[in-house]
Structure 1
Amino acid sequence: MDACPELATAHQLVRDFGDMLTQQTGVLLPAWIDKALPGLSGVARRLTNDLDAVTAGFTLRWRSGATEGAVNSIKKIKRQLYGRAEFDLLQKMILLA
């Protein structure tokens, strides 16, 4: 990385981003985006589209992962049984999952 300063900068930006995630310091996100814009413009631009939601995701302790997992499981069962089963079987498969 010593031979390529851009790579070293990108490496540090990714590490800083990971630190913000693990330490839940969403307030540092706007400053990180300002530093990242020249090199990681695609990522930084997408984060600014909904900055309030991204900052809340970095800062708040609650997550919707369990709910999303349950929804994903139900959708998987629904796709597997599409056109092959009536509602009664679908209902039983979801309740057993």
Structure 2
Amino acid sequence: MTTSSSSSSRRRKCSREVVEAIEIRADGWREDESMNIYVKADKVDETVGSTVDKVELTLDKAGSTVDKVELTVDKVELTVDKVELTVDKVELTVDKVEVNCV
């Protein structure tokens, strides 16, 4: 018996989630005395994938200027939740069947 099989179609699905961890190292208000800037972040969650709704900067003196404000993203993770191998179709083709009787 001669058999041949066609190559099965394979499709790989990846469920990907980009996770950002933004860390603000102060609870509530923080004063940086060297620059006289107050920082307040609302709804800060320290878990991975958390979001920051709002960040406020308040200057304690009128006419104060801020040269630069930086938001640092500590890490970006690519998490693959699961990998699935899906076989759409399997074909078995029989080219010829021979029966020999002696």
- TM-score, structure 2 as length reference: 0.19
Bigger RCO (CA 8 Å, 6+ sep): 2
- Quick check: which one's strand share is greater? 2
Query: Larger radius of gyration, structure 1 or 2?
Result: 2
- Quick check: which one's helix share is greater? 1
